């Protein structure tokens, strides 16, 4: 099955966006983002901490609905999902 | 009542919202938190639009590194207080409005007092802790909060109506780490203008506000889009107050 990952802002600079990925059924949200982010160590470090957990400020959405990062490890993605991963933009 | 000078100055926009809309702008008081990258276009556009009273708060001195984006400040202003520079430029842009430029750091002890009974708070800050503080004041005082943020070629904006729309903490519950962020002036121009645009619509009562939506600008792709955002009923800042935007029911 195929899902689409959309990164925003700083994450987009480091990892690109609109990434179509083939994944096995039952793949969890966290493992999917981990797999894609690992393509760029800097991108990975921007999203995950040294223990492999999402930084607490990371915002996740699945098909326009918010996913709590605490639930991302037990939420499976399904075919056709569009996943958004973004940081709060802080400058002014 | 407007002077001849004012009628001439505002002629082109009164074609959009009439003298009544202009009167609403004139009676309004907008609080702008920050006289930097976002605060520059926000304050300039609100000044020339004729918002009657602008309070602009900043604690910094103009530095050379500000000048690529903070268009309120000129080369000659390096070393001067941003509030002094801002007040001077805004008065020149529109001598018919009142400018309060306050040189202070916004913190827990003064935020509420500074905002007073403003009709809107514009977020032109560069950090989340102060944004959260202003978000709290906006909720407590039931004042609309016009959020903007920029980094590099990217930006975001949303309009928060306390008790109705998601607040800043509903959307971004945790602050990102502070950093010296890269940025081009045009990004500040785009997001600051989106914020000013919503303030003008809010005050004149026209159009649809940027509520329940996060506007996202990607300047590298020259692409804008929006994400729907929702209230968090257990939000530590606004949870439990007001009503659901869609159903109108109390939450």
CA distance B97 to chain A (A): 25
The pLDDT of B210-226, averaged and rounded, is 97
How do residues B15-52 score in pLDDT, each as one tens digit?
999 999 999 999 999 999 999 999 999 999 999 999 99
Name the residue among A55, A61, A89 with its Cβ closest to that of B150.
Answer: A89
Name the residue among A12, A55, A91 with its Cβ closest to that of B149.
Answer: A91
The structural domain count of chain A equals: 1
pLDDT-derived band at B1, boundaries 50, 70, 90: confident
Q: Judge contact between B132 and B106, C-beta under 8 A.
A: no
For residue B244, pLDDT beyond 80: no
Percent of chain B whose pLDDT exceeds 70: 96
Q: Tell if the CB–CB gap between B149 and A13 is shorter than 8 Å.
A: no
For residue B144, pLDDT beyond 80: yes
How do residues B61-104 score in pLDDT, each as one tens digit?
999 999 999 999 999 999 999 999 999 999 999 999 999 999 99
How do residues A48-65 score in pLDDT, each as one tens digit?
999 999 999 999 999 989
**Confidence at residue A89, expressed as pLDDT on a 0 to 100 scale:** 96
A91 in a structural domain: no
How do residues A8-60 score in pLDDT, each as one tens digit?
999 999 999 999 999 999 999 999 999 999 999 999 999 999 999 999 999 99
Q: Judge contact between B198 and B209, C-beta under 8 A.
A: yes
Q: Tell if the CB–CB gap between A13 and B230 is shorter than 8 Å.
A: no
* B4-228 fold: Rossmann fold (3.40.50)
CA distance A84 to chain B (A): 9
How do residues B98-121 score in pLDDT, each as one tens digit?
999 999 999 999 999 999 999 999
Q: Tell if the CB–CB gap between B149 and A56 is shorter than 8 Å.
A: no
A83: part of which helix (H) or strand (E)?
strand A82-86
**Is B224 an 8 Å CB contact of chain A?**
no
What's the per-residue H, E or C state across chain B?
A: CCCHHHHHHCHHHHHHHHHHHHHHHHHCEEEEECCCCCHHHHHHHHHHHCCCEEEEEECCECCHHHCCCCCCCCHHHCCCEHHHHHHHHHHHHCCCCEEEEEECCCCCCCHHHHHCCCCEEEECCCCHHHHHHHHHHHHHHCCCEEEEEEEECEEEEEEECCCCCCCHHHHCCCCCCCCCCCECHHHHHHHHHHHHHHHHHHHHCCCCCCECEEEEEECCCCEEEEEECCCCCCCCCCCCCCECCCCCCEC
Q: Tell if the CB–CB gap between B227 and A84 is shorter than 8 Å.
A: yes
CA distance B176 to chain A (A): 5
For residue B251, pLDDT beyond 50: no
Q: Tell if the CB–CB gap between B37 and A10 is shorter than 8 Å.
A: no
A23 in a structural domain: yes
Which positions 59-88 of A are in contact with B (Cβ < 8 Å)?
59, 61, 64, 66, 84, 86-88
Q: Give the residue, B219 or B251, on which the prediction is more confident.
A: B219
**Confidence at residue B240, expressed as pLDDT on a 0 to 100 scale:** 64
For residue B157, pLDDT beyond 80: yes
**Confidence at residue B246, expressed as pLDDT on a 0 to 100 scale:** 52
Domain range enclosing A17: 2-86
Q: Give me the residue spans of the domains in chain B.
A: 4-228
């Amino acid at each position: 099955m195929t899902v689409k990952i959309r990164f925003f802002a700083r994450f987009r600079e480091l990892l690109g966006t609109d990434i179509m990925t083939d994944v096995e059924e039952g793949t969890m949200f966290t493992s999917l983002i981990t797999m894609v982010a690992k393509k760029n160590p800097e991108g990975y470090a921007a999203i995950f901490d040294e223990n492999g957990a999402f930084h607490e400020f990371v915002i996740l959405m699945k098909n326009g609905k918010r996913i709590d990062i605490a639930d991302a490890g037990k939420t499976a993605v399904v075919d056709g999902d569009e996943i958004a991963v973004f940081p709060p933009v802080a400058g002014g | 009542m407007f002077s001849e000078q004012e009628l001439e100055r505002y002629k082109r926009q009164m074609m959009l919202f009439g003298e009544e809309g202009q009167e609403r702008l004139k009676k309004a008081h907008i609080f702008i938190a920050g006289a930097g990258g976002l605060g520059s276009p926000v304050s300039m556009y609100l000044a020339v639009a004729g918002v009657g009273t602008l309070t602009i708060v900043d604690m910094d001195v103009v530095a050379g590194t500000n000048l690529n984006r903070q268009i309120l400040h000129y080369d000659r202003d390096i070393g001067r207080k941003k509030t002094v520079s801002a007040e001077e430029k805004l008065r020149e842009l529109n001598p018919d409005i009142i400018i309060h430029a306050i040189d202070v750091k916004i913190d827990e002890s003064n935020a509420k007092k500074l905002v007073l009974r403003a009709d809107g708070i514009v977020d032109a800050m560069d950090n989340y802790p102060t944004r959260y503080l202003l978000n709290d004041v906006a909720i407590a005082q039931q004042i609309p909060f016009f959020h903007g943020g920029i980094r590099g070629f990217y930006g975001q904006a949303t309009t928060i109506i306390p008790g109705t729309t998601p607040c800043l903490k509903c959307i971004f519950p945790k602050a990102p780490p502070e950093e010296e962020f890269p940025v081009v002036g045009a990004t500040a121009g785009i997001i600051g203008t989106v914020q000013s645009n919503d303030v003008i619509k809010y005050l004149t009562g026209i159009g649809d506000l940027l509520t329940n939506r996060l506007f996202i600008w990607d300047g590298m792709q020259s692409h804008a889009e929006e994400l729907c955002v929702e209230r968090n009923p257990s939000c530590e800042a606004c949870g439990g107050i007001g009503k659901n935007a869609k159903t109108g029911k109390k939450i």
